[in-house]
Amino acid sequence: MRLSLLPLALFAAVPAVAAPPDVPHPDKLNTIKPQMQKFVDSADLAGAVWVVGRKDGVVHAAAVGSRDLAAKAPMQKDTIFRIASMTKPITAVGIMILADEGKLSPDDDVAKHLPEFGGQLMLADGKDPTALKKPSRPVKLRDLLTHTSGVIPNYPIGVNDVYTKRNRTLAETTLAAALQPLQFEPGTRWQYCNPGIDTLGRVIEVTSGMSYEDFMRKRIFDPLGMKDTTPYPTKEQFARTAVTYGKGKDDGKLFPAPNTLLDVPGSPKHPVPAGGLYSTAADLSRLYRMMLNKGELDGKRILSEKAVAEMTRVQTGDIKSGFGDGMGFGFGWAVVREPKGVTAMLSAGSYGHGGAFGTQAWLDPTQDLFVILLIQRTGLAGGDASVMRQVLQEAAAAAVKK
């Protein structure tokens, strides 16, 4: 039995194609929901939405559990999630759009676009803030894109409430990061760096002459039909957002997490390019199909084929990169160098990213496959290597295996 792309109502924006790819083993997809239900029954998750797709469309999408336990609101396929660090590769897409237009290059010094990064010093011994020296070279955009910049991994005291209060602009937070000494020589180590990605957001603003959020909407979200992807959800969108939960260590029960990162009253000034987007399964499917189609979707080109290739190849050489064994890093994307563990079912060259609340998305160009897992859990054991992610990827890969 072979299954063609499903005409799912949620994904009505996906046009019909004349000869959609087949799924050789559709029965494997039917195993996902019962396994996800077990995570709900064990109170590891309140609920989940997931998608399996290929470059020409979605082949499987489903939801289980609750969006809001107290309200007894069921999880829906159009539920909106805080995707946290899954925002990072989307910000990188914005940078590469500008590279395609010749407005910047990944090899540019950051100071070319943000003069406040000129003349940065570095910790001489990696520890003592009073012993500084000049680095062997300035930080480049590619260093920010690959988390190898040496820029402080978190904001300094007095600015580190930027995500909970969002009361500073990108210009202000970028300056705060630029004024801190580098932790190590640029390009020599991998250290996950939120301020570095936020700095890329500021580069987008300065280079494009638009706010980060306007640029992303006009150049990525609107062309791809990503109507529910935004750093600033409307009242209606917020009403569809999944509650973020933690799990009690003593009683094992889920509770609303006290710090959900982005629940800020008023008018926040900071769009958080490192982790501030809200989105849906349908919207993200459009984005990942664009990537699998080498930068184009439905006749609309977002990126050049060259830009996609550069983003999705290992750019970190032999430097130990990422949160798991066998990983490297491209421009904004984690890249599978050697499939093992939670990536064992994926091909070398697969790429993706996770988020702080357990969300995951991985794309496998060799198998023409993408998988999306949307959940909202803090303190999830395993992080990028969560058992939920592994269950989904194993079923998806088995379904498309020839």
Q: What's the pLDDT score for residue 264?
A: 58
29 part of a folded domain: yes
CATH of the domain at 54: 3.40.710.10
Q: Look up residue 23 and give its DSSP letter.
A: B
How confident is the model at residue 128, as a pLDDT? Answer: 86
- Spell out the alpha helix ranges (H) of 56-169: 87-100, 110-113, 141-146, 162-165
Number of domains in the chain: 1
**pLDDT given at position 160:** 66
What the block records as the tokens of 180 is 């801190």
Instruction: Render the burial of 302-324: b for 16+ CB within 10 Å, e for the rest.
Output: bbbeebbebbbebbbeebebbeb
How far apart CA 149 and CA 186 sit, in angstroms, is 5
Q: Which structure tokens are listed for 226?
A: 């990503």
Q: What is the pLDDT of residue 284?
A: 98
Q: How far apart are CA 333 and CA 352, in angstroms?
A: 5
- Residue where the block lists tokens 């540019």: 108
Residues 34/44, Cβ–Cβ less than 8 Å: no
Residue 19 lies in a domain: yes
The 10 Å Cβ neighbour count of residue 55 is: 20
What pLDDT is attached to residue 221? 98
Per-residue confidence (pLDDT) for residue 262, from 0 to 100: 56
Give every residue of the chain whose pLDDT is below 70, as ranges: 1-21, 160, 259-267
pTM (2 d.p.) = 0.93
Rg (CA), the chain: 21
Domain that holds residue 32: 9-77+274-400
Q: Is 90 among the domain residues? A: no
Query: What sign has the CA pseudo-torsion 141, 145, 149, 153?
Result: positive
CA distance linking residue 155 with residue 136, whole number of Å: 24
In a domain, 207, yes or no: no
The answer as to whether 362 is a domain residue is yes
Is residue 389, in this structure, part of any structural domain at all?
yes
Does residue 299 sit within a domain? yes
Looking at residue 157, what is its pLDDT? 74
For residue 281, tell me if it sits in a domain.
Answer: yes
Asked if residue 110 lies in contact with residue 187, where contact means CB atoms within 8 angstroms, the answer is: no
pLDDT at 153: 94
